[in-house]
Amino acid sequence: MATPDCELCRTPGGELLWQDDFCRVVAVGDPDYPGFCRVILSRHVSEMTDLPVAHRLRLMQVVFEVEAALREALGPAKVNLASLGNVVPHLHWHVIPRYRDDRHFPAPIWAAPAREAAPARTLLGSQSWVARLTGIHVIARVGGAKDAAELRKLAKDPVKARGWWGEEATEKGKKKPEPTLGELALAAANKLEKKP
């Protein structure tokens, strides 16, 4: 049941990458930590032990798949997993790619910065591509896709991935707007549903 004063009950908590009726994956959008995601339980629960064992395992499967996608996409030195909830007591997991030269390494990202700035990191020329790849991986692995290998291959080819968004690159002489991460994920899911 939603709690009206809970931020994660009222808002997505970031840019939506994937969701089902149980949980959602969002991109945090922190420029210091491209690829930083949250896995958020849909219903308002404070602690992992408030869930039945099967639900704990299901939530952790999503967390692990997001970690795997980020490792494949970014090759970080480490991935931090954290479930805090001290400020927002709604069950969610932070999945944070870390690098030896990031602003806080080796300390947690919530500690005082160890350096002024970190090098900009991009994947295929766009930080948002990391989030797109993560969304596609979660759909492929957790969402029950029949052909995850094909999705992973397509996810590495931005031209083919853009094809999920539509065959036409332009509409009445105007460039189509950049799709949101959720729209890309939905297009990928629709592509899978149309497979024989």
Quote the pTM value: 0.68
Query: For position 135, what pLDDT does the model report?
Result: 60
CATH number of 7-165+178-193: 3.30.428.10
- What tokens appear for 193 in the block? 């549903």
Q: Which amino acid is at 179?
A: P
120 closest CA partner among 143, 142, 103: 103
72 closest CA partner among 156, 157, 161, 14: 156
In this prediction, residue 90 has a pLDDT band, given cuts at 50, 70 and 90, of very high
**Each residue of 121-177: pLDDT tens digit?**
764 444 445 555 556 556 555 554 444 455 555 444 444 444 444 444 444 555 555
Query: For position 195, what pLDDT does the model report?
Result: 47
- What tokens appear for 91 in the block? 């069950």
pLDDT, mean of residues 61-80? 86
Query: For position 186, what pLDDT does the model report?
Result: 53
The count of C-alpha atoms lying within 13 angstroms of the C-alpha of 112, restricted to the half-sphere facing its C-beta, is: 0
142 closest CA partner among 20, 11, 30: 20
